Structure 1
Amino acid sequence: MDIAQPHALPAAEALALRYGADQVPPAGPWNAHIALLLSHRSVRGYQPDALPADTLRTLIAAAQSAATSSNLQTWSVIAVTDPDKKARLATLANHQNHIEQCPLFLVWLADISRNRRLGEQEGVTLETLPYQETFLVAAIDAALAAQNAVVAAESLGLSTVYIGALRNNPTEVAKLVGLPPGAFAVFGLCVGYASAAGAAEVKPRLAQDAVVHHDVYDASREPVLRAAYDARMAAFSLRHGMAFDTWTRRVIGRMGKITAMSGRDKLVATLHAMGFSLR
């Protein structure tokens, strides 16, 4: 089933939405695919409508087309459609109700268990399995695969939002979806059609000059660029009836106190218990 792509905005308009009218970088080469990427937004409200038949297979084909380190393919995904499981996952992820609303919830895994089983079945000890690098590769593989799935979903007119709060209760999530040792839920992903309430404006990002360094790292203009971005984010908050917030306040709020990690400060111990030695 072919579904038309969302309307592709011209470069100047798409860049203005992403960066703000006063921070539009010069437009380089442009096409509909790049316009789609710049239109990304997180959606936290979904219609109950079912997805077209075999949408999941299309998303997974896109995910499996992402780069994977040395073709090790150290990721897996669990497609959750059962309402009771979604409700439980929503509770575990700090009561995010959009997990219950969306017709498809994907739990993305850093998964070394498959390759561990391969080694056992072949009678070979895979000596690199217990190392931090192996977990990092698996987490990166999962993120690359998921982002491919997100782009594919958005090209089909669907909306998404990542759910990092699965890491608040990783042991409970693992029990709920039956994870073996060596598999860890790095994040979830809601997929569905945005509701009227869930439709969101493109959120401004830092100016390109704040994140791009040429030949050598240079943070000399960072205070000025951050102040300008704070003003844009404050205006964004006001437009959406949100509590006054700037990017600076957001960073301090999320990184200033250990309590903001919602239990994730114990993640290393949890990973050890779930089969990742992290040497």
Structure 2
Amino acid sequence: MNETINLLNNHRSIRKYTEENVKREHLDIIIKSAMAGPNWANGQQVTVIEIQDKAKKETLSELAGGQVWINDAPVIFVFCLDFHRLKIAAENQDRSFTLTNDSEYVLIGSTDVGIALGHAVTAAESLGLGTVPIGGIRKNPEEVIELLDLPKYVFPIAGLVVGHPANHSAQKPRLPLEAVHHMEKYNTELHDYIRTYDKTMSIYLEKRTSGADNSNWSHKILDFYERRLPLEYGRVKGVLQKQGFHLGKNKN
């Protein structure tokens, strides 16, 4: 395999960082690489807010649920879906702006963010840096919007912590390829693959936690989506609407 594929296949999230700062030129390379990725209709519906200020990082750490690596790492990028620039384009063209009255635009912006964030992770790791994405940015979205002074039609989707790794964590096992890569049509015969993966994850967690946790993937992910997600991310829909994104059908 070539160097790029080896890099992608060796990805792992890093949650412990040294105190060494990231070079300015490396941060610029990461953002340039993120923005070089494909995007919907060349609308470039992504904005990245770079934060190095210690007080802001501490606040973001608290808002994201007490994720201390946000505070410990030298920098966090907040990736936002952004239709504010399209609003300006409409104003420059003397046209009304009603695009965000359709939920499709949240999907478009979120997809663009995901692609950009993936490019940023790969660029950072190619420079010997570590990263960890932060979905917890959406736990308290209104406060994050206020902290970063985000205008209407902009919404924070995810953070990305970047820094020099203090250690390299173990690589978490993934689902078997047969469970995620289907040929010609969707294969619904997945029960055995998921049972096998549950055993793999149980062994991995038991080893990683020195026996304190041997739960499996099915239990953990169902618990997250059924119990934690509604409690921790329940404000997202309301704040999206406040930011001008109406999650219905465009009637215009």
TM-score, normalised by the number of residues in structure 1:
0.85
Report 1:13-162 matches (<5 A). Answer: 30-162=1-133
Distance 1:73 1:33 in 2: 25
Distance 2:235 2:72 in 1: 30
Deviations 1:205-256, CA, capped at 9 Å, x for gaps: 0000111111121122x12111111111111112211522211111221122
Which residue of the partner structure matches residue 23 of structure 1? none
Matched, 1:216 2:185: yes
Q: What RMSD in Å do the two structures reach over aligned CA positions?
A: 1.3
Q: Is the 8 A contact 1:168 1:262 kept in 2?
A: no
Which residue of the partner structure matches residue 187 of structure 1? 158
Q: Is the 8 A contact 1:102 1:190 kept in 2?
A: yes
1:216 is paired with a residue whose SS is coil
Which of 206, 222, 226 is the equivalent residue of 1:252? Answer: 222
Distance 2:247 2:222 in 1: 29
Which residue of the partner structure matches residue 203 of structure 1? 172
How far is the alpha carbon of 1:107 from its aligned partner? 0.4
How far is the alpha carbon of 1:132 from its aligned partner? 1.1
Distance 1:277 1:271 in 2: 7
Which residue of the partner structure matches residue 22 of structure 1? none
Distance 1:214 1:123 in 2: 48
Distance 1:127 1:167 in 2: 24
Deviations 1:89-132, CA, capped at 9 Å, x for gaps: 00000000000011110000001111112211321124423211
Structure 2: gaps of 5 or more residues: none
Q: Is the 8 A contact 1:163 1:190 kept in 2?
A: yes
Distance 2:26 2:10 in 1: 21
Q: Is the 8 A contact 1:92 1:173 kept in 2?
A: yes
Structure 1: gaps of 5 or more residues: 1-29
Taking only the aligned residue pairs, the percentage that are identical comes to: 30
Runs of 4+ that moved beyond 6 A: none
Which residue of the partner structure matches residue 176 of structure 1? 147
- One-letter amino acid matched to 1:254: F
Q: Is the 8 A contact 2:44 2:112 kept in 1?
A: yes
Which residue of the partner structure matches residue 199 of structure 2? 231
TM-score, normalised by the number of residues in structure 2:
0.93
Which residue of the partner structure matches residue 240 of structure 1? 208
